[in-house]
Amino acid sequence: MNGLFVTGTDTGVGKTVVTAALTLALRARGVDAGVVKPVQSGALADDPEGDAALLKRWTGVPESVDEIAPYCFAAPLAPLIAAELEGCAVSLADAAAAVEAVAARHEAVLVEGAGGLLVPAGPGWTIGDLAAELGLPLLVVARAGLGTVNHTALTVLAARQLGLRVAGVVLNGAADDRSRENARMIEELAGVQVLGCTPALEGELTRERLLLLAEEHLDVHAISHETEVSRA
């Protein structure tokens, strides 16, 4: 399986925006990239403002929202708790199989996690365990502001303890030049590359705006190399 696992230092840091932008950038380079968010809470798959529907609308991949997000739960809680409220439980094997089914149709797949690496996703397993099961390199999306150095370094540390290879970090929502200092400190402290600092976006997001975001603010060449199917 080729691709990336996109995680965050927390919920609401911009994983969906970055995942969609990178998917568009890869497809623009001739890479047939798919996208999956195997476990989603806080919105059902067909909720137009939920991550699955946004990924479908922004990337235009052929999969349905139910294939993009096969396990969805309404409550805005950790997936394990949200599933329990609905009398359900998701196994690690089933979540991994859902990703593999989409990956089999594409050259590469971008997998968006839920929250951070240690979010409980099912009985006895976390989002980090799913990333380890899939064996994909990890891209960490973090906030650009105050506190991000600590949160990012902790996420990288947890990833390495899980045996994950961290491909790099993206600082999302940068409002000023201070993000450059945060990027420098993250690289020094965590020993990982910062592969982009994306600005805060306002207004309606379209495919065109997201592709431009990737091309102007992310090191798409370095990130696409991590998928192992980069094209000249």
Residues known to be catalytic: 37
Gap between the Cα atoms of 218 and 12, Å rounded: 19
Tokens 């568009």: give the residue. 24
The packing angle between helices 92-103 and 127-134, to 10°, is 50
Q: How are beta strands 120-122 and 125-126 bridged, if at all?
A: antiparallel
Instruction: Give the separation between CA 68 and CA 56, rounded to whole angstroms.
Output: 8
Tokens of 90: 């998701």
Half-sphere exposure (Cβ direction) of 228: Cα atoms closer than 13 Å? 12
CB 21 within 8 A of CB 150: no
Phi, psi at residue 19, to the nearest 5°?
-60, -45
Instruction: Give CA–CA dist 79/206, Å, rounded.
Output: 28
A 10 A CB-CB count for 28 gives 13
Coil vs helix vs strand at 219: coil
Length of the chain counted residue by residue? 232
